[in-house]
Homo-oligomer: A and B are copies of this chain.
Amino acid sequence: MADYQAPLRDMRFVMYEVFNTDKRWGQWPAIKELVDRETADAFLEEGAKLAARTVAPLNREGDEEGCHWSEEGVTTPKGYKEAYQLFSEAGLTGIGGNPEHGGMGMPKALSAQFDEMFSSASLAFILYPSLTSGAALAIDAHASEELKSLYLPKLYSGEWTGAMCLTESHSGTDLGIIRTRAEDNGDGSYNITGTKIFITAGEHDLTDNIIHLVLAKLPDAPVGPKGISMFLVPKVNVDKDGSLKDRNEVRCGSLEHKMGIKASATCVMNFDGAKGYLVGEVNKGLNAMFTMMNYERLFVGIQGLGTSEMSYQTALEYAQDRIQGRAATGPQEPEKAADPIIVHGDVRRMLLNMKALNEGGRAFSTYVATLLDTAKFSPDETERKQAADQVALLTPVVKAFLTDMGLESCVAGQQVFGGHGYIREWGQEQLVRDVRIAQIYEGTNGIQALDLLGRKITMNGGSYFKQFAGNIRSFLAAGESDEFSAPLEAALAKLESLTNKLIKQAAKDSNVVNSSCTDYLHAFSYVSYAWMWAMMAREAQNQLLAGTEEDSFYQAKLITARYYYQRLLPRMEGLLLSAASGAEALYDLSVEQF
């Protein structure tokens, strides 16, 4: 497997050249003293080294070794503890955390790049610290000052990790039917009892304590999602000064055997009267969850991108090394027995699909991260509101599309290897197994599609969509027309027409949204990437016109943009037709007729 190299040049391109994140940071009072381009770049360099040298080499062996369960707890594969230590020492565990409690307060547009790098290096590894960020976000937004000052500093420093305990065996997507119960001890604490499954990093040996955020129901809670509360349950009870006391009654019953991410401990967690503390208000547990949801879902999308980037780098190296057959135009390396397979059009097609999807995905996820930052840091209330609305609209898109394309891309990267791609030692098949989870967890991609077309489009009469379309048209109006302008405008107009059609259909047939949502999400995504590629191409053209020493980089952007418009954007044509075809063909079939 190729050595991983973080695509720093491309990360800087999307951050600074396409989205001007450094200029934005300078305009936001809450953040301008904390970060500028120079500090961000130094940080990126350090993170890139850690990802490449420390974490990436663990990935293959971690998959073979997996995690180990015993009565005493779970141990992670060889080298994970040391790598986690270095990761937290580098400040990466608290990178986006609240500075009032020891976090670094960095913008998401920056930390998103680390999310990608470490997803490339080892998806199984990055899941340990990443759950901490989510837990800390929920605690910071909803917990009491006492809980915040007790727990946040140690989560940000990486001394402790966090875990999210939502799913039960009968209750995944439908959290309204969870059975875990909480009883009020009358002393500010609760006793939590129940069993949670699929708990990522629910138990491990990386840190001395693990802070669980657990969804549970109080005895008198209303039925359904409005009766869920959130509790903070430490693995080891914590004294008022932050020192560790006795073991709490929360234990890992077993580890799941999975298709991939085998070095990540996916735990069955048993809460047996474990002591916990309410986070946020009684019965408002789902609200507390939603606080972190946008960040978490963006991160899962980026997992798809990161894994795919690793697959691309390895496939590209292989395609240059492996010789097999001759170019259609005649031998390219006649002194060898055959040409490198990158001469073959179908190999180039696979690599260019990956390249166009990865670079488009990097731009798109950085765009959504920038929107999250704008919604959080901008001093302009209107700008904050508009950014928050666009985050709401685009979060399901970034989660589902980057992971769907992540699988497609890793499958292509495996295919480039031919038979060797199917052999474990080469590492390409692991990427396929690992990336597959990202389409499933943190809300399946079907749920994301439902969220997009149901909640974010039809339920608000298309107002978020109008803003989205307006943003694309503003982009088009702000620059000179080029080869991408008319196709982008045309694609947007088609998506607009589909959106309006579906809003009308949905008003008449309540099955339309859940029948057409996935095709709609994909059509929406291809237009979004077309916009990203048009933005990147415009910047590349400007740089080439202005005269640059990096001709080759910018020309590659232009060619890849053309490739995207010629070879990938057309996929939306079929999606427009299928998404508009109504729900009848899905519901005419009785269950017995399936």
For A, the interface residue count at a CB cutoff of 8 angstroms equals 100
> Does chain B have a CB within 8 A of A331?
no
> Does chain B have a CB within 8 A of A432?
yes
Set of chain B residues within 8 Å of A577, measured between Cβ atoms = 566, 570, 573
Alpha-carbon separation in the docked complex, A502 to B411 (Å): 27
Alpha-carbon separation in the docked complex, A348 to B514 (Å): 9
> Does chain B have a CB within 8 A of A65?
no
Set of chain B residues within 8 Å of A170, measured between Cβ atoms = 323
Alpha-carbon separation in the docked complex, A578 to B589 (Å): 34
Q: Mark A425-440, 1 if CB is under 8 A from B, else 0.
A: 1000100110011011
Set of chain B residues within 8 Å of A555, measured between Cβ atoms = 593
Set of chain B residues within 8 Å of A573, measured between Cβ atoms = 570, 573-574, 577
Set of chain B residues within 8 Å of A515, measured between Cβ atoms = 345-346, 348-349
Q: Mark A562-594, 1 if CB is under 8 A from B, else 0.
A: 110011101111111110011101111111111
* The residue from B415, B419, B586 contacting A167, defined by CB atoms under 8 A apart: B419
B432:A556 contact, CB within 8 angstroms? no
Alpha-carbon separation in the docked complex, A255 to B51 (Å): 32
Chain B: which residue is nearest A354 at the CB level?
B594
* The residue from B342, B407, B441, B585 contacting A567, defined by CB atoms under 8 A apart: B585
Q: Mark A170-191, 1 if CB is under 8 A from B, else 0.
A: 1111100100000000000000
* The residue from B172, B582, B594 contacting A418, defined by CB atoms under 8 A apart: B172
Q: This chain: how many copies in the complex?
A: 2
A338:B177 contact, CB within 8 angstroms? yes
A586:B407 contact, CB within 8 angstroms? no
B552:A593 contact, CB within 8 angstroms? yes
Q: Mark A314-354, 1 if CB is under 8 A from B, else 0.
A: 00100010011100110000000110001011111111100
Set of chain B residues within 8 Å of A519, measured between Cβ atoms = 567
- How far apart are A527's CB and chain B's nearest CB, in angstroms? 13
B449:A346 contact, CB within 8 angstroms? yes
B594:A422 contact, CB within 8 angstroms? no
Contacts A348-B586, A571-B574 known; A173 to B418 CB distance under 8 Å?
Answer: yes
- Name the interface residues of A178-233: CB closer than 8 Å to any CB of B: 197-198
- How far apart are A590's CB and chain B's nearest CB, in angstroms? 8
Alpha-carbon separation in the docked complex, A338 to B573 (Å): 36
Most chain B beta-carbon neighbours within 10 Å: one of A171, A323, A411, A419: A419
> Does chain B have a CB within 8 A of A355?
yes
Alpha-carbon separation in the docked complex, A197 to B425 (Å): 14
> Does chain B have a CB within 8 A of A14?
no
Most chain B beta-carbon neighbours within 10 Å: one of A167, A323, A338, A578: A578
B328:A510 contact, CB within 8 angstroms? yes
Chain B: which residue is nearest A341 at the CB level?
B173
SS class, residues of chain A in contact with chain B:
helix
Interface-located stretch among A71-79, A238-246, A256-264, A279-287: A256-264
Set of chain B residues within 8 Å of A348, measured between Cβ atoms = 515, 586-587, 589
> Does chain B have a CB within 8 A of A248?
no
Set of chain B residues within 8 Å of A556, measured between Cβ atoms = 589, 593-594
Alpha-carbon separation in the docked complex, A337 to B223 (Å): 10
Contacts A338-B177, A446-B346, A515-B345 known; A578 to B594 CB distance under 8 Å?
Answer: no
- Name the interface residues of A283-309: CB closer than 8 Å to any CB of B: none
B578:A566 contact, CB within 8 angstroms? yes
The 7 closest A-B pairs by CB, nearest first: A345-B514, A345-B515, A570-B577, A259-B429, A573-B573, A556-B593, A566-B581
Q: A256-B423, A419-B440, A559-B588 are in contact. List 6 more A-B contacts (CB 8 A).
A: A198-B419, A257-B424, A346-B449, A415-B444, A415-B446, A560-B589
A-B contact pairs, 26 of them (CB 8 A): A170-B323, A198-B419, A258-B422, A259-B429, A316-B594, A328-B510, A329-B511, A345-B586, A346-B515, A349-B518, A352-B585, A407-B411, A414-B436, A415-B444, A415-B445, A422-B436, A422-B440, A432-B436, A552-B590, A556-B593, A562-B585, A562-B588, A563-B585, A566-B577, A566-B578, A566-B581
